[in-house]
């Protein structure tokens, strides 16, 4: 498992992007965005998926894109049940991402969180923070950036120096962390095999996760398709989560009215590149009466693939004079050791 997981998850969440720019001599596989149209268009989502490159094909292609997104959430009656008032929250996201290979990446993300729709939230205005993620092949650097003076004043008042910290994590340790998290999910009763195409292991899935066709196949494996349309460039599908996966994720059996309503309200609207399976975007909505309403969408623009996409990108971070280094490795090591012990206990392998 590699840092390519982070890039792939962002790809899967992205929503409406233009056709990628590709080298003219790129072979008709992997991340290619053009191909000769077949005589007849696929009639079902599964038929289209089976026309894509094999899921086992290993792809490690440089790319970059601009990213925007939004999420809104409403929780009824959150503040005062005697006089219920809806609590509304909005989050807007923007940034850029560049990936040279599986361990060299740079994400620059800005997040604006608007809590003005929550009565008595006690926040003077929208919260504007930035996050810079840079991996140089050995170390992942995480640099928080605080754009609001009132937040900076509160952080400086603590005397801890959070506002000037640069967090780092060893890339190999990050990979181990992801592996243990997968084991933890499995130990808690979640069947991780439900997330991957039939015939693949979870490890194989993440090792090949830069292959866009793999994510299209995973979408087919995890959802029931309720709407399918296709044209010369894009495939659009509306789907709902498979009941077995819902049960595994939530730890409940959707046989009650609330669980059934929750499952049926979860809708995914996803757009893919027709020729490669590249996930171009996703809208997600979830509504449960008197409980919660959430909508999320993301989009990528100026998507470029190939070595020219990252030619001028810096995949390392240089500390500023005012900044201090805070390695996360010892804390992550301790956390993973504790998680492994808990997993062994759940498996009944611990002896006393």
- pLDDT in the model for residue 181: 79
- pLDDT in the model for residue 82: 61
Residues of the chain with pLDDT under 50: 1-37, 350-352
CA distance 176 to 333: 10
Q: What is the pLDDT of residues 15-36, one digit of tens each?
A: 333 333 333 333 333 344 444 4
Assigned token pair, 219:
């979408």
Specify burial of residue 255 (Cβ count, 10 A radius: 0-12, 13-18, 19+).
exposed
- pLDDT in the model for residue 5: 38
The secondary structure of residue 308, as a DSSP letter, is G
- pLDDT in the model for residue 305: 75
What are the residue boundaries of the structural domains of the chain, listed by start? 4-17+46-344
pTM: 0.72
CA distance 36 to 342: 52
**Beta-bridge partner residues of 66:** 96, 301
């Amino acid at each position: 498992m590699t840092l390519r997981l982070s890039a792939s998850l962002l790809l899967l969440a992205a929503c409406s992007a233009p056709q990628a720019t590709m080298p003219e001599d790129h072979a008709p596989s992997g991340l290619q965005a053009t191909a000769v149209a077949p005589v007849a268009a696929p009639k079902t989502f599964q038929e289209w998926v089976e026309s894509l490159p094999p899921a086992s094909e290993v792809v490690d292609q440089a790319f970059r894109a601009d990213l925007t997104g939004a999420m809104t959430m409403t929780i009824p009656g959150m503040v005062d049940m005697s006089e219920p008032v809806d609590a509304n929250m909005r989050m807007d996201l923007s940034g850029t991402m560049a990936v040279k290979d599986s361990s060299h990446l740079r994400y620059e993300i800005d997040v604006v969180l608007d809590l003005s729709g929550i009565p008595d939230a006690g926040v003077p205005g929208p919260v504007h923070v930035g996050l810079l993620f840079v991996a140089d092949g050995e170390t992942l650097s995480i640099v928080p950036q605080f754009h609001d003076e009132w937040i900076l004043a509160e952080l400086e008042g603590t005397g801890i120096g959070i506002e000037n910290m640069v967090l780092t994590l060893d890339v190999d340790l990050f990979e181990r962390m992801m592996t243990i998290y997968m084991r933890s999910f499995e130990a808690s009763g979640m069947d991780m095999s439900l997330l991957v195409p039939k015939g693949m292991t979870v490890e194989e899935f993440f090792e090949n996760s830069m292959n866009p066709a793999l994510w299209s196949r995973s979408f087919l494996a995890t959802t029931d398709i309720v709407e399918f349309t296709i044209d010369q460039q894009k495939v659009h599908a509306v789907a709902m989560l498979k009941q077995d996966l819902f049960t595994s994720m939530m730890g409940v059996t959707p046989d009650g009215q609330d669980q059934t309503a929750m499952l049926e309200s979860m809708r995914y609207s996803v757009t893919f590149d027709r020729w490669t399976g590249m996930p171009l975007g996703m809208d997600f909505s979830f509504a449960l009466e008197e409980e919660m309403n959430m909508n999320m969408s993301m989009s990528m623009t100026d998507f470029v693939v190939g070595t020219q996409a990252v030619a001028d990108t810096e995949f390392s971070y240089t500390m500023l004079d005012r900044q201090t280094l805070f390695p996360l490795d010892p804390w992550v090591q301790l956390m993973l050791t504790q998680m492994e012990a808990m997993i062994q206990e759940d498996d009944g392998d611990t002896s006393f």
